[in-house]
Amino acid sequence: MFYIHQTTCISPQQTFNEINLDVLHEAVDNKLCVIEPLYQGIPPGLLRRMGKAVKIGVGAALPLLKQPNVIAGIIIGTANGGMEESVKFLKQIIEYDEDALTPGNFVQSTSNAVASQVSLLTHNKGYNVTHVHRGLAFENAVIDAAMMVRENEETTYLLGGVDEISSYNYNLDNLEGWNKREHISNTNLYLSETCGSIVGEGAAMFIVNGEKANAVARLKAIAILNTGDEVDVKNALQNFLAAHLQPDEKIDLLLSGENGDSRLLHFYTCCESILGDNTSVARFKHLCAEYPTASAFALWLACNIIQAQHLPPHTVKMQASTRGGYKNVLVYNNHKGVQHSFMLVCK
């Protein structure tokens, strides 16, 4: 599909600038909030008016875009980006009786605010698209980027996934039972046998094109489906592996989106059983927690594992033989039991 050349990630862990995944930062009040860096490259006056999703999205993107005119377009996936600012603006309408409204919240309230701000700051006038598809927002951005690269392999794009902890969505998910009722730490998230998960946020960005030279990793294939049936997921994974793996190849590592929600565990164990004992299994939601574009963090983590050939010990669920290293990494993510995705990342 395409090659990944550079990556950045702003997350609740030490993933930006000096990366250290062996140290696990713990959740506070069942939330894993991002560690915000110094936002170099964003004018202070503009930074002061930015919502959190825009800040972390732009902050993660700019380090990849130091050279002008490198990318032909910007493709972002988000489910809740700008939602917090949108709610603030709606509250202003009521509070000020539709009079003397401040424009800042309105400007930052749309989902495409991240892509547009990156475009304005880098003077990029190319392809600019934001995909908003709940738990498959980032995956649709990936498919879009793959189609653009297929048309011209030498063309380079910025691909990213961004979401923040919006009080609006947090409250709705709370009412629907997607958040843990009891206090729980991310350090023992997978021991939980109750419904719901902890809440997270983050931004991951990638420079992608069709050229193999100096690439960090290759995204070989992606598949998405909407279903609540475990049999459908099982069949989809088997077909995915049959289509994209050679007879002598195997998945070295399953990067699982298991999130401590007892209602969703059977989907993940089903995928583990298909891959068998020759595949190592690692989990990533205790690092970033649950949010719609957590698969972007997983793709960043997969690239990091392939590049460093190191698996943080606290991520390991099952360790198989790593004699050949981590060459083929399968990312499986599930959002709210109905939106599923597979990504095959190769060395």
Would you say residue 82 has pLDDT above 80? Answer: no
Average pLDDT over residues 70-86: 84
Residue 311 Cα distances to 34, 102, 255, angstroms: 21, 47, 11
Q: Strands 73-77, 157-163: parallel, antiparallel or unpaired by DSSP?
A: parallel
Indicate the average pLDDT of the chain.
Answer: 93
Q: Tokens 């996934």 sit at which residue?
A: 161
Q: Do domains 2-209 and 217-346 have the same CATH topology?
A: yes
Q: What is the pLDDT of residue 248?
A: 87
Q: Which CATH class is domain 217-346?
A: alpha beta
All structural domains of the chain with their residue ranges: 2-209, 217-346
Of 57-71, 91-105, 240-254, give the lowest mean pLDDT range. 91-105
Q: For 8-22, 88-102, 315-329, which range has the lowest pLDDT when averaged over its residues? A: 88-102
Q: What are phi and psi of 149, to 5 degrees?
A: -70, -35
pLDDT at 68: 75
Reported confidence tier of residue 104, pLDDT bands at 50, 70, 90: low
Long-range contacts of 236-242 (CB under 8 A, 24+ apart): 236/340, 236/342, 237/271, 237/274, 237/332, 237/342, 238/274, 240/342, 240/344, 241/274
- Going by pLDDT thresholds of 50, 70 and 90, the confidence category of residue 26 is very high
* 2-209 CATH choice from 3.40.630.10, 3.20.20.140, 3.40.50.2300, 3.40.47.10: 3.40.47.10
pLDDT band at 83 (very low <50, low <70, confident <90, very high): low
In the chain, the N- to C-terminal Cα span, in Å, equals 13
Alpha helices in the chain (DSSP H): 44-49, 52-61, 83-95, 103-107, 113-122, 137-151, 167-176, 230-244, 265-275, 285-288, 294-308
- Going by their DSSP bridges, the two strands 217-226 and 2-10 should be labelled as antiparallel
What is the rounded distance in angstroms from the CA atom of residue 295 to the CA atom of residue 38?
25
* pLDDT at position 168: 84
Decide if pLDDT at 102 tops 80. Answer: no
The pLDDT score that the predictor gives to residue 70 is 87
Cβ contact 48:310 at 8 Å: no
| Across 242-256, average pLDDT | 95
Chain segment 174-203, per-residue pLDDT in tens: 999 999 999 999 999 999 999 999 999 999
pLDDT band at 93 (very low <50, low <70, confident <90, very high): confident
pLDDT tens profile 140-158: 999 999 999 999 888 999 9
Residue identified by tokens 């020759």 is: 278
Give the number of other CB atoms < 10 A from CB of residue 87. 16
pTM exceeds 0.85: yes
- Per cent of the chain over pLDDT 70 is 95
As given in the structure block, the two tokens for residue 268 are 């993940």
Q: What is the CA radius of gyration of the chain?
A: 20
Per-residue confidence band for 231, with pLDDT thresholds at 50, 70 and 90:
very high
Nearest to 114 by CA among 139, 143, 80: 80
